[in-house]
Amino acid sequence: MSRPREVPADGQAEALALLATGELTVEGRVLTASNLTLYARVEGEAGTMPCVYKPVSGERPLWDFPDGTLAGREAAAYAVSRAGGWDLVPPTVLRDGPLGPGMCQQWVATSDTEPPVALHPGTAAGPGWVEVVTGEDGRGREVVLAHRDEPALRAMAVLDAVLNNADRKGGHVLRRDDGSIVGVDHGLCFHAEPKLRTVLWGWRGEPLTAQEREVLTGLAVAWPTLGLHDWLTPREVQAGLARVRGLLADGTLPLPGQGWPSLPWPAF
């Protein structure tokens, strides 16, 4: 019997079906993750595919997010990204697995070239980069935190504002082998209170483009149809729609807020 074919990274519908119904086998663990994150593989009639499996049972309790809700928030982030046409979140589902219910997401094969976010020595990042903040490394040397000046990263900054992403670290922004950008680790999103914490502040305060306004307008209309109540509380769903409308009313990308750290720690 021949081995099932590998499902391509750009086959969204095919990937979703396989993630939801395929046989899930754990093959390893991502040791750098704060919550239990497992490298796994799903296999079914449509083919086979590597994935990330984060069981709810492996989520650490947090003071500001309800217990056992991070996996659902990741699925909700994918739904919003798809609805906005951003395609910045890998296909993600909430399903049962060997360690119980959890988030199952297509694995991202990454490229080591042209990192989207980086620390640069000195006081300037150079051409093609947008500087976020200057500081010092562990040895007291000056460094600049910067991200690439790319449309996909700006789109991710808009998406994060909608999601109220409280943990957009540099390591959560990945470049695929084909050069495209994707974001992962969206468990700390959709809080009803302002908690935006990100390394993508390079466009802060800039006016929204006509295309961004068009996307947000369409998202506001589609919001009630996204099924977000499957993963979020009614208050969180309503707060998300209010953020979309607030961005349109302000007409600009958000500025760092007061009373809440604007950068995640650590940044990577």
pLDDT in tens, 99-145: 999 999 999 988 777 889 988 888 788 889 999 988 887 788 898 89
Q: State in words which class domain 12-106 has.
A: alpha beta
Q: Is 161 left (phi over 0), alpha (psi -120 to 50) or beta?
A: alpha
Query: What H or E segment, with its residue span, contains residue 93?
Result: strand 92-95
Q: Using an 8 Å Cβ cutoff, are 261 and 199 in contact?
A: no
Express each pLDDT in 63-102 by its tens digit: 999 999 999 999 999 999 999 999 999 999 999 999 999 9
Strand order from edge to edge, sheet including 142-148? 117-121, 142-148, 129-136
pLDDT at 250 over 80: yes
Nearest by Cα to 26 from 41, 37, 11? 41
Q: Measured between alpha carbons, how far is 96 from 211 in angstroms, rounded to an integer?
A: 38
Residue extents of the structural domains in the chain: 12-106, 117-250
The continuous run of DSSP H or E covering 39 comes out as strand 38-44
- pLDDT range class, residue 178, cuts 50, 70, 90: confident
What is the mean predicted confidence (pLDDT) over 12-20? 92
pLDDT (average), residues 231-252: 98
Q: Which two tokens stand for residue 243?
A: 């953020």
pTM: 0.93
Which pLDDT belongs to residue 2? Answer: 39
The more confident residue out of 146 and 7 is 146
Give the Cβ contact number of residue 229 at 10 Å: 12
Summarize the confidence of residues 172-195 as an average pLDDT: 94
pLDDT, position 1? 34
pLDDT of residue 32: 84
In this predicted structure, what is the pLDDT of residue 10?
62
**The pLDDT value given to residue 198:** 96
